[in-house]
Amino acid sequence: MSLDREEPNYFGAGPALLPTSVLQQAAQDLVNYKNGGLGIGEISHRSKDAAQVIENTKANLKQLLNVPSTHEVFFLQGGGTTGFACAATNLQAAYAGKHGKKAPGGYIVTGSWAEKAFQEAARLGTDAEVLVNAKDLNQGKYGILPQESSYMDKIKSKEYSYVYLCENETVHGVEWPTLPQGLVESGVEIVADLSSDILSRPINVANYGLIMAGAQKNIGLAGLTLYIIKKSILEDISKVSDNQLREMGIPLSPIATHFPTVVKNDSAYNTIPIFTLHIIDLVLRNLIQKGGLEAQNELNNEKTKLLYSTLDKHSDFYDLPVAKDCRSRMNVVFTLKKAGLDDKFQQEAASRNLTGLKGHRSVGGFRASIYNAVSLQSVKLLAQFVDEFAKVNSQQTLQTNNLM
């Protein structure tokens, strides 16, 4: 069977598109890794080859993101939902280790994923509270970023073990263009979910206490999450015993998601999915070869500008529910203003091999996820279709109205 394929024009939100060259190399390595007679998925997670994959991936990630010496990189099984839980328990333990008391985690909710993160933290019994929910400020709908004044007064008046936000909400198409400056200057540890915009642009890692990113949206396959954490947080977690945490009413982290334990064992305390990690590493190498995050950021900006400008050109036909200052560069969400055309849009797009455009089931409409691996050519084809569909169907509606 050939490993060649026609380049897909796929806009699914996750699991998402990966570079064909990455998949081709991964397919070969799955059968016979480094000509050793075994596939990479068959080797021991404690072997030298597996350890090298872990180290290579960490090194390439540090290079791309310019990770400072103050931070550590590690990997955990699972996805963002696992991160909702272990971020809450570990960060509250860190605060207890540093201050000898507990404090709540504060959540800035700008979409369904930040909301789910808060709900999981509360379900586990950790101290958690919503600092602000953007839909309470926007007529019950997500689509804006709250002003700093809506949450900074709370942060200044009360101690928090961390403040949590989701930098890019895949369902609602809302993205923080930068971290809020007031939050950065507050001194509270920032915990951020970067699952769907990780490595799409340069960031200042030093501003974050903890970054987590599920791989399946922008950098790999489902089943693995990367973490970048301040080393001081790891030290603070290690200062507090399980009994002390119990006495303070802070739920313990399962040992497989206890951050200091995972880091001490180089991400291999339990069986890390090496094949999945290897694909991440191949993606990282691909990014480095293309010029790093500066080059990727420039390409992403070009793709985003093209698609949004085309949709905006037909503002009488397409509705874009997200404020312009926080439109996601990764997940472009939109609906059709004219009823009864959704199925037609979907079918005609598919006839042009433009797939993965259906919106999340909770909001409907359409969503074009233009992650790193989605080519500029694919976005050009989508923009052309979006333009033509609006012109044809607006004209048909106009003609029908004139006959009435």
Q: Distance of CA 127 to CAs 82, 167, 243, 252, Å?
A: 18, 22, 18, 13
Provide the H-helix boundaries in 265-291.
274-289
- Is 176 an active-site residue? no
Instruction: Kindly report the number of other CB atoms within 10 A of residue 47's CB atom.
Output: 13
Around Cβ 169, how many Cβ atoms within 10 Å?
Answer: 30
Nearest to 227 by CA among 62, 53, 114: 62
Catalytic residue among 62, 127, 176, 193: 193
| Residue whose tokens read 């998601």 | 257
Listed residue (372, 393, 374, 391) closest to 382, CA to CA: 374
Given the residues 58, 62, 135, 217, select the one marked as catalytic: 217
| DSSP-assigned beta bridge partners for residue 133 | 109
- In whole angstroms, how large is the CA radius of gyration of the chain? 22
Is residue 342 part of the annotated active site? The answer reads no
193 is an active site residue: yes
Nearest to 195 by CA among 396, 8, 13: 13
**Which residue among 113, 135, 176, 236 is the active-site one?**
113
Return the active site residues. 113, 193, 217
